[in-house]
Amino acid sequence: MKLATKIIHAGAEPDPSTGAIMTPIYQTSTYVQTAPGQHKGYEYARSQNPTRKALEDALAIIENGKFGLAFSSGVAATDAVIKLLAPGDEVIAANDMYGGTYRLFSKVFEKFGIKFTYIDTTDVANVANAISPATKLVWIETPTNPLMNITDIEGVAAITKKAGVLLCVDNTFASPYLQNPLDLGADIVMHSATKYLGGHSDVIQGCLMLNDQALRDQLYFIQKSCGAVPGPMDCFLVLRGIKTLHLRMQRHCENGASIAQYLRTHPKVERVYWCGFPDHHNYDIARKQMRDFGGMMSFTLKDDSAEAATKVLSSTKIFSLAESLGGVESLINHPASMTHASIPREERIKNGLSDGLIRLSVGVEDAEDLKDDLAQAIG
Ligand SMILES: *Cc1c(COP(=O)(O)O)cnc(C)c1O
């Protein structure tokens, strides 16, 4: 079955009690048992909820996985993956990734004795060199946030498989429409469903998709033991968002390409970071592992200062100045002071994330209006 059909029908069984075509919002904390231990597979809503189950089934299907697990946020999903580990274990992570992931690793988990080593994963040889006997997990994000760097998922998976190490890919920026890491050898895919999966900037949620039953059982145990589960209303919203993922993504990609080309020719723009340019460092890998290039990009002005960037950031009228991404509306963001403020400045600059960098989440509005808005803001 092709993606568009899967997206519409994934996990969508008519409700068994009424035939409702949409899975109802089962707003309940518990389920009545006919005799002790006799129930319909549902005991307590932290462990099981039918709305969450419909969503988790859909999530698995759209990522070509066997299992899906939903969490109360993207970072809660990441948190669950790290809880597979024990003190003394090491994680090899990309040095250019979502600021909240870095914060969770460095400020929360390091003190429990888990070691994190940050490397440039755009060259897979670095991954092979970094793996030590203590390494249990490799964590990558591609394309990265906000520099749009591309890592070869298949290349990294070949290394982690050989070393007997788990590979988790944060697929938030690409969405399952553009890229399916499980097909390329990843063990776990993580999404902030807050972004493209939800798609309407109205819910916080995260998820994991995977194929291995034993790993799924461990992660399900963590999900119910630690309790970071999403409520049924939020599950309903993401389930509904997923139904238009392919339509939204098509427009995000069209608009993204159009805006990236426009910015690149703008006399005041120094550099545009977008993985659809043939001269992008890892363009061949992006072409190989992605179906299209999406609506996320960053750029710097010739005057690469926080002041010049701030002027643009406060002048757009259609692009709203806000954190987050992947919704139908276009957003503009200043990574240095907003999404990536938790990364020390020195570390940021070293990784190429300058004070003047501006990130765009190009929405599904009319591309001409978006270009006009950027034109008046850049001046
Ligand atoms: C937003 C985001 C997260 C965190 O997800 P939340 O839903 O905000 O907890 C993780 N990774 C990436 C790439 C993100 O954009």
d(CA 238, CA 234): 6
How far does the centroid of ligand 1 lie from the alpha carbon of residue 293, in Å?
19
Query: Which residues have any ligand 1 atom within 6 Å of their CB?
Result: 73-75, 98, 100-101, 141, 145, 170, 172-173, 192, 194-195, 204, 206
- The reply to whether 371 belongs to the active site is no
- The reply to whether 317 belongs to the active site is no
Name the residue with the closest Cα to ligand 1, atom 9.
74
Q: What is the CATH number of domain 245-378?
A: 3.90.1150.10
Q: Which of 79, 170, 234, 355 is catalytic?
A: 170
Ramachandran angles phi, psi of 190, nearest 5°: -115, 140
**Is the peptide bond preceding residue 146 cis, with omega within 30 degrees of 0?**
yes
| CATH, domain 3-242, list 3.30.1360.180, 3.20.20.450, 3.40.50.2300, 3.40.640.10 | 3.40.640.10
Query: Cβ(336)–Cβ(92) under 8 Å?
Result: no
Ramachandran angles phi, psi of 81, nearest 5°: -65, -45
Ramachandran angles phi, psi of 104, nearest 5°: -60, -45
d(CA 237, CA 232): 9
- The reply to whether 98 belongs to the active site is yes
Interhelix angle 367-378/245-264, rounded to 10 degrees, is 40
pLDDT along the chain (379 residues), means of 10: 88 88 95 94 95 96 97 98 98 90 95 97 97 98 93 98 98 97 98 98 98 98 98 98 97 98 97 96 96 97 96 98 96 92 85 93 98 97
Query: What is the pTM (predicted TM-score) of this model?
Result: 0.96
pLDDT at 88: 98
Domain spans of the chain, in order of start:
3-242, 245-378
Same CATH topology for 3-242 and 245-378: the answer is no
Mutate to test the pocket of ligand 1, among 171, 195, 325 (most ligand atoms within 8 A of CB): 195
- The reply to whether 15 belongs to the active site is no
Name the residue with the closest Cα to ligand 1, atom 12.
98
Count of Cβ atoms closer than 10 Å to residue 161 Cβ: 13
